[in-house]
Structure 1
Amino acid sequence: MVETGVRYLEIGEAEAGQRLDNFLLRVMKGVPRSHIYKILRSGEVRVNKGRAKAQYHLLQGDQVRVPPLRVADTPPTPKVPSRLGDDLNTRILYEDDRVLVLDKPSGLAVHGGSGIAWGVVEALRALRPELRELELVHRLDRETSGCLLLSKRRSGLRQLHASLREGEFQKVYLGLTQGCWTANEQRVDLALRKNVLRSGERIVRVDTEAGKEARTHFTVQQRFADSTLVEAVLDTGRTHQIRVHLQAIGHSLLGDERYGDEQANRLARERGLRRLFLHASRLTFPHPRDQRVIRVEAPLPPELEGYLQNLASA
């Protein structure tokens, strides 16, 4: 074990724009992700002598206090499994000198952590060591597949985060829900509040009084006997937003073990569905270099496309 004293880190131009938690994960190598979030919640990490939330975006000149820590000796970096590396290389949908868009597979977390050896960003950094500043621009749930944007430069990350906050991104998803929709379109405007259970599991609930605003626009794409394929366009980007909004209106996503309907999920498994039916199908964003609009699409994975074909022929 290695003992570290209190550190005061000044944020330079290269680090500005990063989320505080992502910055800490980078500078506190060898510290468990869970412990980093613990010291953030307890206020041991300070920004400009005050408390700051994990999602705070750092500014140039900020002073970050990192408390004393006992850090395990860093083990040699394990090699990315060849199968994972080969798969990720075939899943790049768009790439240039500033950004990379990946068709993330279901079951792969965007970040490594407790019990997770590899996340998307760690695997890509190991595969492409020249991309030292590679960072996630946004996140997808582990069970969700589809378009995931990463920035190759911290300066570009700041611009992309600013565009994201200004609502200049469009994120479009496809999901298969339980039940038959009567209307062709539905807008859901229900505030959401995130809670963390004692187990550490994150759970999100509708909370119109204390929650943060969340808006999703749903459009029916295809109807089946007892389920409906919908397109979801996010006006806001809250954790588990689509999943909780669909649960709230009585049309939970099939394959959703956290917010879904147990009976509907059991029937879907019997029919061959082995994952959450939610896919980030399209991403539109302004390029950080010149603001030209980039539009990237990810086709439905074969296992989801095959499931729909089986439903249509039943």
Structure 2
Amino acid sequence: MTAHNEPTIHVEHDEAGTNVDHGDHDNAYSGLLVNDANWAFGTDFEDPLAGVDTTVPDGVDAKDLGAYCLMLGDDALVFSQRISEWCSNAPDLEEDIALANIALDLLGQARLLLARAAAADPELVPELFAGSPVPDEDRLAYFRNDLGFRNVRLAEVPNGDFAEAVAKILIYSTWRLSIFERLTGSRDTVLAAIAAKGVKEMSYHRDFAGRWVVTLARGTEESRSRLVAALDGLWPLWSELFETHPVETAVAEAGIGVDPATVADEASVILDQVFAAAGIDRPERGGLAGVGVHGGKGRDGLHTEALSKLLAEMQVVAREHPEGQW
């Protein structure tokens, strides 16, 4: 029976068989009563760039802009997936929530950047069956193999312990924040807006990781040794972050992107400040050699085996049910 003070939901059907809610009260479930099919695996179902002028600036090669946004989007997507693996596995609830929020920030960046890449160069988007419900940014995320990804290899490194997680976030966010601070002045207004939002997010990411690096370094002998080992293991990937790909050269010259080599000194100074506060030395290991032929690296679509395994897990459901809707 229904209590006298309980709101009653009146549901009928329109000619198409769609449920229609005519209740007098707000109903948290009313959205479920609308026959509005959406692709099952997306994070949202509206165009993330709806209402935004996505016209490519004069004098800019659309393919270069698309390729550059793809690089930045892949960095964020892959690193987000890696950090999200910490959900329910962090040392305590506060850090669990913090890491989940960092992963969500990166996922949001990835979605905007991949959408921008698709708008600039539609040829980047994988073709699916006619009438596919999959939006462009999700096609890029779920329907490319590892050779199609252009992320830096630091983003794909498998998780180790918590010390390695914070060391990796510190290295990544220090580099990325320096890039994004300059991108806020991009001639491409879409990229500039994405960067402005990302600067706020990654300032927090860097501070979170920096505080934990100092805490672990000045904690117990065990926490210090784990942190030093983590930094030593990740350090060979540091120099790759500042190696300039031809696409990055082109977009920097066009005033829409950043040559990563130009932020190397700034990023190094910031890391050295954190290391000084932590009382540890900068690792001395050299860069990681390229994989595949001619020393190709992440920006060239050549990756470690870890990326293939990450993508297999991330993409399996979407690839198995490409027509999945709800």
TM-score band w.r.t. shorter chain: under 0.3
Q: Larger % of strand: which?
A: 1
Q: Larger % of helix: which?
A: 2
The structure whose Rg is larger is 2
TM-score by length of 2: 0.26
TM-score by length of 1: 0.27
